[in-house]
Amino acid sequence: MMSNTDKVFSFDESSKEQILQDFDNYKAEYCTSTFLAQHPQASEYDLRDFLESAKRSYLRAKRNHMSDELWLEHLHKFIKSYKLVAPLQRELDKLILNKDFTNLELEKAELAKQKAELEKERIAFLNEQNEFIQNGKSKHFDHIVTASEYEATKKELELKYYKEIEAIKNKHQEELVKNQEETKKIFDEEINNIKDFYDRKLEKVSSYYNKLKEKLAELKEDNNKLISEIYERDLVSENQLALRTKDYYEEIEKVRKILRNYEVLSFELKTKIKEKDYLLNQLKNKLKHKDDEFKKFIKDQPEIVNQLINDGIKQGVKVKFNQLETKLKEQVKQYEDTVGRTYEKHKNEVDKILIANETKVEVMKNALIQAEETAKLTTNELERIKSEYDLVIYTNRELNEAIKVEQERAKELAAKVEMLTAENNDLDKLNNLLVKKYNDNDHLLSVSKSISEQLDKINASQLSLQKVLQTSDDDKTNQKIIDLNKAIDQVNATYKRSKALKNEPIELPKTTPTKGKIIEYIDEDEGLDSQWARQFSEATKRIKEKKLNKKKKALLDKEISEFK
C-alpha cells in the first residue's frame, strides 16, 4: 500500500499537482485506514479534516525534501494526538474568524465615525446658512455679500461635496464588492472541496461497482464453463457407464446361459447316472436271483448236485459260474469307472466354468459398485457446484444491493451538496438583507434626527421670515407665506410618517438632487432631504429681491447636471 519509493521534488507549481496526485494515489488509502484503525468512532468530518491536514503535511514534506519514512513517523504521531490537536485547531480557526469579525466591526465603527463627522459638517453648514439668512452675512465666508455670491459659493461647495461623497461611495462599494467576492470565493472553495470529496468518493464507488460487474461476469463465465464441463464429463461418464453396464449385463446373461446349460447337463448326467444305477441294480438283482436259484437248486436237488460233483460237472459249473461272476463284476466295475470318470470330467468342467464365472461376476459386482460410487460422487459434485452457484448468485445479489445503497448514498450526498449550495445562496441573500436592514435602520435614525433639527431651524427661519415679511402687505407676499406654511406642514407630516415607520428594511426612492438642494446624505435619503431643500430654496428665491448672477449660475448648474 505504501510501496511508493521516496522521491525528491524540486518544489514548484508544476510539481505541486503531481505531489497531490501521488498522495491521492498512494497515500490517501493508507492514511484513511490508519486513522480509522486509531479512531474507529471518527465522523466523516473528522476523516475529511484529517485527510486535508495530511495532504498539506505531505506537500510540506516534499517541499522540504523529507523522506517518506520520516513523514510517516510524523503522520503516526499526528494521528495519535489528533483528538487533542483537532479541537484546538478548530478553536484557533474560530479565534481567527472572530478576529476578522472584530476587524469588520472596527471598520464599521470607523465608517460610523466618518458619517458622524460628515453629519457634523452638514449641521455646521446648515447653521452657517441659517446665520446668513438671519444676519445677511456669512461667518466663515466674509466675501459673500450678495445673494448671487452666496448661491455660487453654495453650488461650488455642493459640487465639491457630491464629489467627495461619490468618492467615499465608490471606495465603500469597492470594499463591499471585494469582501463579497472574498466571501463568495471562500464559500465556493468550500463547496468545491466538498463536491470534489464526494465526487472522488462516488468515483471510487463507481470504480468498485465496475470491478464487481467485471468480476461477476468472469464468475458467470467460469460458472457456465464449469457447468458445461461437468455436463459433458457427466454425459461421457454416463455413456461409458451405460456401455459398461450393458457389457456387464451381456456377460451376466452369458453366465446365466452357461449356468442354465450346466444345470441341464447336470440334470442329464444325474439322469444317466440314475439309469446306469438302475441297470446296475437290475444286473445285481439278476445275479442275486441266479445265485439264489443256484443255491435253491443245490438245496432242492442235492442228488443231482452230488451226481454232478461226482461226475466232475460241479467243477465245470463252478468254473463257469466264477467266470460269469468275474465277467459281470468286471463289467460293473468298468461301467462304474466310466460313469465316475465322466462325472468327474463334467464336474471339473462345471467347476472351472463356475470359478471363471464367479471371477467375472465378482469383477462385474465391483464394477457396478464403482459405477454406483461414481454416480454418487457425480451427484455430490453437482450438488456442491449447485451450492457454489447459489452462493455466487447470493453474493451477486448482496453486491447489487450494496451497490444500490452506495448509489442512493451518492444521490443523497449530491442532494446535500445542492441543498448546501441553496443554503449558501439563501445566506448570501440574508446577509444582503441584513446589511440593507442595518443601513436602512441607520438611515431612519439619521433622517429622524435630521428632520427634528431641520424643524427647529425651520421654526427659527419662519420667525426671521415673518420679521422680514412684516414690511410687505401685498397679496403676493401673503400667498408666499401661505405657500411656506403649507411646505412646513408638509415637512411636519413627513416627520410624523417617519416616526410611524417600523424598524424594518424599506426601499427609499432614488432621485436626482435638485438645484436648490443644500447637501446629500451618505445613506441616499434624497427623497426627504430634496423635498425640504427644494421648498426652502423656492421660498428663499421668492423672498430675495436681488438679481442672481445668471451666467455663473448657469455654468454651475451645467457642471452639477453633468456630474449627476
| pLDDT of the chain, 564 residues: tens digit per residue | 343 433 434 456 667 888 888 898 888 899 999 889 988 888 888 888 888 888 988 998 888 888 889 999 888 888 888 777 777 777 777 888 888 888 888 888 888 888 888 888 888 878 877 776 777 666 666 666 666 776 777 788 778 878 877 887 787 777 777 777 776 777 677 667 766 776 776 676 667 667 777 877 887 788 788 888 887 877 777 777 777 777 777 877 777 777 777 777 777 777 877 777 777 777 777 777 777 776 777 677 667 666 666 665 546 655 666 676 676 667 667 766 776 666 666 667 666 766 766 666 666 666 666 666 665 666 666 666 667 666 666 666 766 677 777 777 767 777 777 777 776 666 666 666 656 655 655 666 666 666 666 666 666 665 665 565 555 455 555 666 666 666 666 666 665 665 555 444 444 344 444 333 333 333 344 444 455 556 556 655 655 554 455 555 555 565 555 544
Pick the closest to residue 162 from 553, 512, 538, 549 (CA basis): 512
Using alpha carbons only, what angle is made at residue 220 by residues 216 and 225, rounded to the nearest 5 degrees? Answer: 145
Cβ-proximal residues to 30 (8 Å cutoff; 6+ apart), any chain: 1, 2
**Cell numbers found for residue 26:** 498512494
The crossing angle, in degrees rounded to 10, of helices 302-310 and 147-300 is: 80
Q: Which residue has the cell 438679481?
A: 547
Q: How many whole angstroms from its chain centre is CA 399?
A: 14
DSSP 8-state code for residue 524:
-
For the stretch 8-13, contacts whose Cβ atoms lie closer than 8 Å and that sit 24 or more positions apart, written own/partner, are 8/65, 9/62, 9/63, 9/65, 11/62, 11/63
Q: How many whole angstroms from its chain centre is CA 519?
A: 62
Cβ–Cβ < 8 Å for 335, 280: yes
Residue type, 289: H
Cα–Cα distance between 161 and 181 in angstroms, integer? 30
Cβ–Cβ < 8 Å for 16, 59: yes
Cα–Cα distance between 129 and 141 in angstroms, integer? 11
DSSP element (H, E) containing 76: helix 68-80
Q: How many whole angstroms from its chain centre is CA 90?
A: 27
Pick the closest to residue 439 from 528, 523, 527, 520 (CA basis): 523
- Number of neighbours of residue 233 by Cβ within 10 angstroms: 12
